[in-house]
Amino acid sequence: MKPVLFGVALALLVSACATTTSPTGRRQMVGGVSQAELDQLGAQAFNETKQKEKISSDGRQNGYVQCVVNALVAQLPPQYRGVRWETAVFVDNEPNAFALPGGKVGVNTGIFTVARNQDQLAAVIGHEIGHVISRHHDERMTRQINAQTGLAVAGLLAGAAGGEGAANTVNQFGGATAQAVFLLPGSRVQENEADVVGQRLMAEAGFDPGQAVNLWQNMMAASGGRSPQWLSTHPDPANRIRELQRDAPALAGVYQQAQAAGRRPKCG
């Protein structure tokens, strides 16, 4: 029976997964877990981070981040725009940020040393939200599930197919997996894609897309020309800056249209 159960579980996984197209036209495999499960895992990882890290009580910083997030979220597709997005500012000198399924955004206070205006902060947060709307967490989770072998995976999939739902999946994966899959950097392909999606998103929200270039230049200058820990698995910084510079002129019209439509964020 064990091989049969495993085969059934794998068949269920394959049938649940789907090939889709990302916002940039890239083919990707998703659907290893449901959106409800992804949202629960995102909330779990976010809550665990809030428990482990010191949260800033600075009202100005929190309001600043929330203002930028609100402006970006207003331009998202309906399924993401309708989510109540929650933000947290962590007291940590490492310039870092993340966004998770379910509408969670975390920003370290260290980001303010390199994101020196609202447009540059929007470049950071837009990039991170770009991961969410490009379904990168779903893609990474699906890839991880596909890589798993053994009866533990069979049990997990059979249980999920039996209707135990999101809570059971979260329970099976546990916080450590949620942290690993959701909070570690994505692949270079995903990081490049999040740059493209995030830069367009910031332009649509009325932030200057050219400031994405300045942001990454500041990031590299702050690290003495070396890639900081946050960027260790990201694309080569020089290539990244060149690509952002290449795309900025094409987004100038999008930015100007947003401004003309009254989308002129005043976050700080």
Q: Which residues are catalytic?
A: 128
Q: How many CB atoms lie within 10 A of CB 226?
A: 10
Q: How many CB atoms lie within 10 A of CB 148?
A: 14
Q: Which two tokens stand for residue 75?
A: 């331009």
Rounded Cα distance between 133 and 23, Å, is 8
Phi, psi (deg, nearest 5) at residue 82: -80, -5
Q: How many CB atoms lie within 10 A of CB 56?
A: 18
Nearest Cα to Cα of residue 170 among 49, 53, 52, 39? 39
Assign 104 to helix, strand or coil. Answer: strand
Rounded Cα distance between 194 and 158, Å, is 33
